[in-house]
Amino acid sequence: MSLIKSISGIRGTIGGKVNDNLTPVDAVKFAASYGSWLITRNSNTKDLTVVIGRDARISGKMISSLVANTLVGMGINVIDLGLSTTPTVEVAVPLEKANGGIILTASHNPKQWNALKLLNEKGEFLNGADGAEILEIAEADGYTFAEVDNLGSYTKLPGYMDKHIDEVLKLEFVDVEAIKNANFKVVVDAVNSTGGIVIPNLLKKLGVECVELYCEPNGNFPHNPEPLKEHLKDISELVVKEEAHLGIVVDPDVDRLALVCEDGSMFGEEYTLVACADYVLGLAKGNTVSNLSSSRALRDVTEKHGGLYKASAVGEVNVVELMKKTDAIIGGEGNGGIIYPASHYGRDSLVGVALFLSHLAKSNKSCKALRDSYPSYFMSKNKIQLTPQLDVDGILAKMADKYINEEVNTIDGVKIDFADEWVHLRKSNTEPIIRIYTESNSQTNADQLAKRIMGEIASIAGI
């Protein structure tokens, strides 16, 4: 089954049968569910507006058209940003005084996938209750469409990625002059999606020399689009060949940021947030938040600056909720997602690039030296494919019982904290898999811990 319905939206593979894959019928059904929810939520508002935008994947134009016309058919006005990024749509919703937003992107998933990511009037992902309500509407097929005189309007609004860039450059801690004076040379891998437009344009405005790799927004991903080390051989080699100061990698919808050091080594997805937080906390005292699957290094850096660190359940909406509760001034997820409230409450690679380059320029260090200045933790990220006969909840409960004498957290799957390492086991929100993340003081130890835990799961599950 390749259709995943969750509180954060609907995601699936293109083609196939209705309710099993993301077919045109499923796209219309879910857009109508969101539209119905929005109309009920704004019962005293006559004209409703939704901002939409898409990444460059091949199915994007088709899915976007279906979603836009469904909303128009419900009497909702649509502002279409066209090729865009997830954070750009998030920024556009409040700027355009819209009532909501939909991003057509399957984020880091391969090209056969697409998705509808749903936003509220603040340009933030929906909370669990709102998402559940939309799923209920979809199950009940409870939609009412507008009569011919009450159809919504459709407006194209190109150029919003440039407006997003301008908003980033206005941020207080983005030091444009320091970046320009550093004369950086950077290689960018945008996996042939919209990051290939927006990241080079941002760098040009920052006075950075940009070498483009896979920056043609045609949706033909040249490698697995998840920005992990094993997928980034080409940029690693090109950074060294070009004698660049660093490499910048974004996923198809530009909400995840990975960095490559000048010697071709990985800065580490986990350390994107650590470095940006270190920079921001050095300029303003405050707290931070990341999720349970993120590195302990953020906690260490936060405490070094006198702040308080907290961990949330996995998922951007959960991180944002805890950031608001703790007045965190920066946070995010260890997958390279930076959330900086001074800009907006959403993961944003543009903000991440601007903050990181400001930090690097003012540190007078190379990218590798900056990475080496942080506590060294090593992660192993693994997955087990789910099959219908697997009782995932039962497996996780047995793992929690097995390690009852350790520090166990069950707010999101099972996280087991040992003295010098940890493991987090959880069912993915976006793929039919169990994720097994471990962290330790060496790669060997992290890998060994993962291997041991996966063996224990296999034993419990009888696989």
Catalytic residues, which ones? Answer: 107
Residues 6+ apart with CB under 8 A from 393: none
Cβ proximity of 238 and 187 under 8 Å: yes
Q: How far apart are CA 352 and CA 338, in angstroms?
A: 6
Cβ proximity of 312 and 289 under 8 Å: yes
Task: Tell me how far the alpha carbon of residue 288 is from its chain's centroid.
Answer: 17
Cβ proximity of 124 and 315 under 8 Å: no
- The C-alpha torsion from 203 through 205 and 208 to 212, rounded to 10°, is 40
Burial 336-354 (b: 16+ CB within 10 A, else e): bbbbbbebbbbbbbbbbbb
The tokens for 315 are 């998922």
Q: How far apart are CA 438 and CA 426, in angstroms?
A: 12
Residue among 250, 272, 268, 271 at smallest CA distance from 187? 250
Pairing of strands 100-104, 77-83: unpaired
Task: Tell me how far the alpha carbon of residue 402 is from its chain's centroid.
Answer: 32
The tokens for 450 are 């993962």
Residues 6+ apart with CB under 8 A from 24: 62, 66
The tokens for 265 are 């080594």
Cβ proximity of 86 and 52 under 8 Å: no
Q: How far apart are CA 134 and CA 375, in angstroms?
A: 43
Residue among 89, 10, 25, 13 at smallest CA distance from 57? 13
Q: How far apart are CA 368 and CA 265, in angstroms?
A: 8
Cβ proximity of 100 and 93 under 8 Å: yes
Q: How far apart are CA 248 and CA 260, in angstroms?
A: 6
